[in-house]
Amino acid sequence: MQGQQQAGYNPSPAFIVLDGPIIVGAGPSGLAVAATLRQHSVPFTILERSGDIADLWTNRTYDRLRLHLPKVFCELPHVGFPPDFPTYPTKHDFLRYLHSYASRFGIAPLLGRSVTRAWYDAPASLWRVTTTAAAAAAASAAATEYASPWLVVASGENAEVVVPKVKGRERFAGEALHSSEYRSGERFRGMRVLVVGCGNSGMEMCLDLCAHGAMPFMSVRSGVHVLPREMFGASTFGIAMKLLRWLPIQMVDRFLLLVAKMILGDTEKYGLKRPKLGPLEIKNITGKSPVLDVGAWSLIKSGNIKIVPEVESFSGNGARFVDGNEMAFDAVIFATGYRSNVPSWLQDGELFTEDGKPRARCPSSSSSSWRGPNGLYCVGFSGRGLLGSGAEALMAASDIAGRWQEAQVAAGANISTV
């Protein structure tokens, strides 16, 4: 009967062959690729699993978040921030910028399209990408397969939350949440809150908790570099970038740590041990950023934010630390970061590792980190933030544009010979 479907029947997905590249992800990286393709008059299709652009910034960030770097280092290609924006834009400023950016270049992603599989069809020389509609009751009924000679992976390094497995976590009776669910410290007023993780997010959440009358304790597992956000009236990041033009990275690291000690004092005295490698060298090797202090450090020194060791296990009302001490807490926030979800859907063993990072990061090869085989590209996985994503977007889009134009010429030649 028309309009009915047999139980167990899975219809084949709709199949759409596209003239231009497929871009997975409508965050800053995907938008930057799309805008540059638009500049080259190359058509594109963006697939985005959420209901709007910039899902991370829209739905998984806390209220007081600002860009940790000056806006000049966070602009996407072709369009700068409005001059009236502050030096360190708020998350709401940044979202306004991204929506204006998308509107300016006529970028209209296909929203609510969750990519479940992407594979290269060698005989057809096409990437085939299967999506399901996120809001559909039956995913199989809403499946669509897109095909293109080019696939741009721009789903980002922060697609899925990371929550460490800690013994006894299920026994903890208080509230436990990931930092992606944290918005404000208001509802934690008067509570003892354990923040697991000491990166930029963990530090800033502790600062916010203090501002709302909570008592934060920050669990530190390994060494961390804390740097002042500014030195000598200028951005620490900007100073570092200028020095790296002339000096080796180890020498710049020594300079940054010397000035940081002059401004902040000895962080190890308060429980924040510095790693053996310098902050820029760690960033270069692992992608992990140093903490740029926006006010939490003074509260650590005053004792308003207390540093505690790594968590060994949880109990019904608190946590036991690796030094044997136990403390009671009302809530736990895991500021333990995110990871890429690319391995769950991309069937490619060459460009990405099992943990969702590009395999090659050879400084002598500019293409190694953003271009793979058979028309596969990745943007936003270099660990170099928005600045790096913008540079990769320009390279990837320009490369695609050249190949797309060659394909158009070849197609025209084939038609003329018929």
**Model pLDDT, residue 415:** 58
Task: Specify the pLDDT at position 10.
Answer: 53
How high is the pLDDT of residue 357?
Answer: 74
Distance CA 360, CA 337 (A): 23
Is the Cβ–Cβ distance between 88 and 81 less than 8 Å? no
Please name which of 216, 235, 377 lies closest in space to residue 294, comparing C-alpha atoms.
Answer: 235
Which pLDDT score, from 0 to 100, does residue 4 have?
38
The alpha carbon torsion through 73, 343, 11, 50 (nearest 10 deg) reads -30
Instruction: Using alpha carbons, list the distances in angstroms from residue 93 to 34, 233, 383, 390, 391.
Output: 21, 23, 23, 19, 22
| Helix (H) or strand (E) segment spanning residue 102 | helix 91-104
Whole-number Cα distances in Å, 222 to 162, 225, 258, 308? 17, 10, 21, 11
At residue 260, φ and ψ (nearest 5 deg) are: -60, -40
Q: In 22-90, where does DSSP find H-type helix?
A: 28-39, 55-59
Tokens 């926030």, located at residue = 333
pLDDT tens by residue, the chain, 418 residues: 333 334 444 556 789 999 999 999 999 999 999 999 999 999 999 999 999 999 999 999 999 999 999 999 999 999 999 999 999 999 999 999 999 999 999 999 999 999 999 999 999 999 999 999 866 444 444 789 999 999 999 999 999 999 999 999 999 999 999 999 999 999 999 999 999 999 999 999 999 999 999 999 999 998 999 999 999 999 999 999 999 999 999 999 999 999 999 999 999 999 999 999 999 999 988 888 999 999 999 999 999 999 999 999 999 999 999 999 999 999 999 999 999 999 999 987 677 777 777 765 444 344 457 888 899 999 999 888 899 999 999 999 999 999 999 989 887 666 555 5
Phi and psi at 301, nearest 5°, equal -65, -35
Regarding beta strands 376-378 and 151-153, do their DSSP bridges make them parallel or antiparallel, or are they unpaired?
parallel
User: What would the DSSP string read from start to end of 287-333?
Assistant: -PPPEEESSHHHHHHHTSSEEE--EEEE-SSEEEETTS-EEE-SEEE
The reported pTM is 0.90
